[in-house]
Amino acid sequence: MKHRSTVHSPQLTARLLAGLLSLALLSGCNLGSKKSGWGGSGGNGGGFKPVVVGRDDLQITVLATGNVQPHNQLAIKPPISGRIEKLLIQEGDYVRKGQVLAQLSSTERATLLDAARAQGATALSHWEDLYTATPLLSPEYGQIVYLPTVPGQIVSQSDSIMTMSDHLIVNTQVDETDLAQIKMGQVATITLDAYPSEPIEGTVRRISYQSTLVNNVTTYEVDVWPTKVPSHMRSGMTANVVFNVSEKDNVLVVPSEAIQQRGDQATVLMAGSKPGDKPTPQPIQTGITDGKETEVISGLKEGDKILIKTFSAGAVAVSQTGSNPFMPNARPGGGGGGGNRGGGGGR
């Protein structure tokens, strides 16, 4: 039995494809013209999304990153060259001014004690009482944050045998565009990357006058002092700081995307009493905004229905090209292109 195949002429194939494309376009137009209340499509595949005006808490903040570091860091050096006999503190200890941190022997005393030690305990005790060690005193109140030395180590007067700091702070870099919102004494919240679930309260204690260029961005140093330094806070830790700029509770808000600016006047689209009613512009007075929501001072009341204009992908394509994206682009001159296809314009 032979198989039968049908071969269409090129003209018939082109007519079939054109017919299918026309049906698809007509179907798309019909779908785009249907309306379903406020969410229906309007014109070029767009529509409206209804929103009920309500109340919410707004908080305006500025976010910056920084590092934990001592406010003042002091390298402690021995008063004499010699040997460390005893260390009376440990790394992390808080010390007071004038407290004895270590005992040192000068080079001569260390040599004498080594010789006495070889003679026995009695001789060593005699010379230790007769030739006392030199104490190393704390110059300030603070915390020992670095202690790289051990008893028996030989040191010189130029060696730093320990480091102390007076207070741990967070040094941040704030973009110049946000600097106007940062004030002295402003409340901030510190979050350490190592302890994200344990926020620390702090206040702004310093805003630098000299800018710094970081990745081609002009920034200013802002120091934030923790109200209470937790025991787990360490120098060098990475921290995120949220500066509280403004805060309002239980205020009337609308989505920021619903607001249209006409000159100096902000407006929103009010929904009609019926789904088919045409939306009307409503002037409003706005307050603070966090980017997503904006405070409404006047012009609306709680429970009002406003509309947000939505756009489909087809509508955006039509608005950008000025034609239906499914149709071929017209050539310059318009009629010339049609003439070529019809055979009249090209002759």
- Ordered strands of the 162-165 beta sheet: 73-76, 162-165, 142-146, 94-95
**End-to-end CA, the chain:** 51
pLDDT attached to residue 255: 92
The number of CA neighbours under 13 Å toward the Cβ of 239 is: 34
Other Cβ atoms less than 10 A from the Cβ of 44: the count is 15
Polymer length of the chain: 347
pLDDT attached to residue 313: 53
Please report the sign of the dihedral spanned by the C-alpha atoms of residue 61, residue 66, residue 70, residue 71.
Answer: negative
pLDDT attached to residue 15: 54
pLDDT attached to residue 312: 55
Collapsing DSSP to helix, strand or coil, 308 comes out as: strand
Sequence letter at residue 142:
G
What is the rounded CA–CA span in Å between residue 143 and residue 118? 39
Measured between alpha carbons, how far is residue 297 from residues 40, 254, 283, 284, 285 in Å?
A: 30, 11, 11, 7, 5
pLDDT attached to residue 135: 95
pLDDT per residue as tens, the chain (347 positions): 443 333 444 444 455 455 544 544 444 434 333 343 444 444 444 577 889 999 998 888 899 999 999 988 899 999 999 999 999 999 989 999 999 999 999 999 999 999 999 999 999 999 999 999 999 999 999 999 899 999 999 999 999 999 998 889 999 999 999 999 999 999 999 999 999 999 999 999 999 999 999 889 999 999 999 999 898 999 899 999 999 988 888 999 999 999 998 888 999 999 887 777 788 899 999 988 888 889 999 999 999 999 888 865 555 455 555 555 445 554 444 444 444 444 444 43
